A = this chain, B = another copy of it.
Amino acid sequence: MTRVIIIGAGNVAFHLTKAIKALDSVSLVQVYNRSKEVFKQALYTDLATTTQFNELLDADLYIIAISDNSITAVSEKLPKDKLVVHTSGSMSMTAISQQKRGVFYPLQSFSKAKAVDFKEIPFCLEARNATDLKLLEELAKALSDKVYLINSEQRKSLHVAAVFVNNFANHMFYQAAELCKNYNVPFEILKPLIQETVAKLDELSPSEAQTGPALRNDTKTLAAHLELLNQNQQEIYNSISKSIQENHGEKL
């Protein structure tokens, strides 16, 4: 049975710990975190935990799920001859100092308060050799129905794409909510439209689904909209409208 140790107790580490703990096919040997406060949470009460690297037990796989900047330094404190992976979308596999290294990146936005269904979370895997990749693949498939082999360059592009669909799309929702607040309209009114915007992706590509005054080059509406916006919103409005026109010009 594969023995796993998880390094970290932040959002990703927390949800991974919970999911791996629930697996029958894997033994979650231990969890490391630099401070012991988090271990008071119910999840950790029946797990072996430590705040000391020199107390780490033996395992087949060490999963580093901590902030990007600390991955290399932490990997250097782990056994030199074991398989060590990180869970970051933006760091290269070479951030791990071990020869047996890899990446185990769950492409999802985690927050501790919100339960996640791991079966639906895509796992992006990478490893230096086939045996290690196979071990990662078995673990990922035990957790999720969506497992992909993705190299470091592809993963970096996925990470910036994730910023567009998650952080930036959410900022569009934020600006809409601000407009609603300013004009005393409930943001709720927009929820069905938001849901439809995403539902359309089941049938159309984002390119096919594009509509709106920028696409139609409806200059009258574009000008009327700009009048309702603050400077910040105007900058966004202009840069995205310009991009829509430059990318979909052939549709006009």
Give Cα distance in the complex from A168 to B176, angstroms.
Answer: 11
Give Cα distance in the complex from A50 to B163, angstroms.
Answer: 50
1/0 per residue A152-178: CB within 8 Å of B? 011011111111111111111111111
A180 at the interface (CB under 8 A from B): yes
A215 at the interface (CB under 8 A from B): yes
Q: Which of A87-146 contact B (CB under 8 A)?
A: 90, 107-109, 111, 113-114, 116, 120-122, 124, 146
Residues of chain B within 8 A of A172, CB atoms compared: 164-165, 168-169, 172
Q: Which of A216-252 contact B (CB under 8 A)?
A: 218, 220-221, 224-225, 228-229, 232-233, 235-237, 239-240, 242-244, 246-247
- Copies of this protein in the complex: 2
Q: How many residues of A contact B (CB 8 A)?
A: 92
* Cβ–Cβ contact A225 & B160, under 8 A: yes
* Cβ–Cβ contact B190 & A158, under 8 A: yes
CB-nearest residue of chain B relative to A240?
A: B168
With A173-B165, A239-B235 given, is the CB distance from A190 to B114 under 8 Å?
no
Residues of chain B within 8 A of A225, CB atoms compared: 90, 159-160, 163
Residue pairs across A and B with Cβ atoms less than 8 A apart, 7 shown, are: A111-B200, A124-B189, A154-B184, A157-B180, A158-B190, A164-B172, A171-B240
